[in-house]
Amino acid sequence: MTIQRRVTRKVKIGSVSVGGDAPVVVQTMAATKTRDYEATAASVAKLANCGAGIVRIAVDTDQDAEALAEVRRRVDANLSVDLQENFRLAEKVAPYVDKIRYNPGKICILEPNLSWERKVEYLVDVAKEYDCALRVGINSGSLDPEKLREYREKLEHKDADPTLMSDDATFFDPPIRSALEHVDFLESLGFDRYVVSIKDSDPETVLMLNRRFAALKPFVPLHLGVTEAGAPPRGILKTRAALEPLLMEGIGETLRVSLTVVADQKEQEVAAGRLILENVASGVVASISDLDKTKLNIVSCPGCSRTQSSRFVELAHTIDEATVFARSYPLTVAVMGCRVNGPGESDDADVGMWCGGDRVNLKSGGTHVGTFSYEEVVEKAVELIKEKISAMKQ
């Protein structure tokens, strides 16, 4: 089956191109501790060998940045680096990578007196100097706080003044506004070597946000993904339900399937990405309606170098198994590996957990319930889920 793909700008990332007439690139992310450069290099090599066109690595410290130099020396792969708060690490890692991902929701945190525009200008200068591409990586779990504040304010006043928000704007506001703002700013700097991602843990939201962005900025290559899709096989189905329809519409130039699996099984993400492309090529694709059979939505992140405890993946799988009884109830349960997207996702969930080294933070409807050991938290979470189901039945 021939898909009529849209033609975006082509962005070179190491030896691959994203967009234009290039085939869709499957990418993934290493989940080893970045500072353990031997394990990280081995993981990157394995992922590149099984078909990852780009492998992303999280960097938060100088030690991580130094490790990247070693990874680059040892492996021939297209490397992307994931920066969150510490945008200044860009100049330390750029010599060793092909792409830098920044998160508009996190770049505002360090050096708060410096405007986001000056920070992005700095990233563009670094990218130009070291021949790197950029990714503007919007994630619903860590949105720009200013956009969220404005959005909540509008929501509060919309009953008094319905003209404040159309239905469309109510839904799409913060992530789309954030993406458009950064695209317009990068364009104003004359920098065009970038891609955009707009991810959410809800597949339907991913579908709608990316459709909308693609209509507004058709020339910008899109990196597709459902963030925190969870463990396979459900995580794969959630991702398929969002990405396959988009790709059938010709939208999406690169993709990642985020699965909650341990670091040495990350090749499952690449295999799932390739499966999606095969499905699209054959025209047999999943849709959002395939997800309705299970109403319980378990959101769990894929884990990465930032995961504070290796017990996080086990916890996510245990919660998945312990909540079989709740599958027919429309509840969202989040299990997150660290504080980067953990607090945001667990605020949005009916029952949310985000993991520290020895303790897990538990929330109910966004309210902090307590901090528990990995053993205790499963029982506490199940209790909360049962309470919510009882309340629904009344």
Residue ranges in contact with ligand SF4 by CB under 6 A: 301-304, 306-307, 336-338, 340-342
Nearest partner of 355 among 285, 390, 304, 297, judged by Cα: 304
Per the CB < 8 A criterion, the answer to whether 141 and 345 are in contact is yes
Which of residues 12 and 56 has its CB atom nearest to ligand SF4 in the complex? Answer: 56
Which of residues 201 and 323 has its CB atom nearest to ligand SF4 in the complex? Answer: 201
Closest approach of Cβ 320 to ligand SF4, in Å? 16
Q: Which two tokens stand for residue 339?
A: 């504080």
Which of residues 145 and 330 has its CB atom nearest to ligand SF4 in the complex? Answer: 145
Per the CB < 8 A criterion, the answer to whether 171 and 200 are in contact is no
Closest approach of Cβ 389 to ligand SF4, in Å? 27
d(Cα 373, Cα 23) in Å, to the nearest integer? 46
Give the list of residues 6+ apart from residue 19 with CB closer than 8 angstroms, or none: 7, 8, 9, 10, 11, 195, 221, 253
Per the CB < 8 A criterion, the answer to whether 362 and 380 are in contact is yes
Per the CB < 8 A criterion, the answer to whether 69 and 40 are in contact is no
Pairing mode of beta strands 11-13, 332-336? unpaired
Which of residues 19 and 343 has its CB atom nearest to ligand SF4 in the complex? Answer: 343
d(Cα 347, Cα 367) in Å, to the nearest integer? 7
Residue 226 DSSP one-character state: -
Closest approach of Cβ 302 to ligand SF4, in Å? 5
Closest approach of Cβ 258 to ligand SF4, in Å? 7
Question: H helices of 267-359, where?
Answer: 267-282, 311-322, 342-348
In angstroms, what CA-CA distances link 323 with 197, 300, 378, 382, 385? 31, 14, 10, 7, 8
Which of residues 54 and 286 has its CB atom nearest to ligand SF4 in the complex? Answer: 54
Give the list of residues 6+ apart from residue 305 with CB closer than 8 angstroms, or none: 30, 31, 32, 33, 34, 35, 40, 57, 58, 59, 60, 64
* Bond prior to 233 in cis (omega within 30° of 0): yes
Which of residues 71 and 220 has its CB atom nearest to ligand SF4 in the complex? Answer: 71
55 DSSP β-pair partners: 28, 79
Which of residues 99 and 306 has its CB atom nearest to ligand SF4 in the complex? Answer: 306
Residue with the closest Cβ to ligand SF4? 337
**Which sign does the torsion angle of CA 369, 370, 371, 377 carry?**
negative
Closest approach of Cβ 207 to ligand SF4, in Å? 21
Tokens 């794969």 — which residue?
Answer: 236
Closest approach of Cβ 71 to ligand SF4, in Å? 18
Which of residues 39 and 340 has its CB atom nearest to ligand SF4 in the complex? Answer: 340
Which of residues 8 and 34 has its CB atom nearest to ligand SF4 in the complex? Answer: 34
Tokens 């700095």 — which residue?
Answer: 122
Closest approach of Cβ 56 to ligand SF4, in Å? 10
Closest approach of Cβ 337 to ligand SF4, in Å? 3
Which of residues 234 and 306 has its CB atom nearest to ligand SF4 in the complex? Answer: 306
Q: Which two tokens stand for residue 54?
A: 């780009």
Closest approach of Cβ 307 to ligand SF4, in Å? 4
Closest approach of Cβ 393 to ligand SF4, in Å? 33
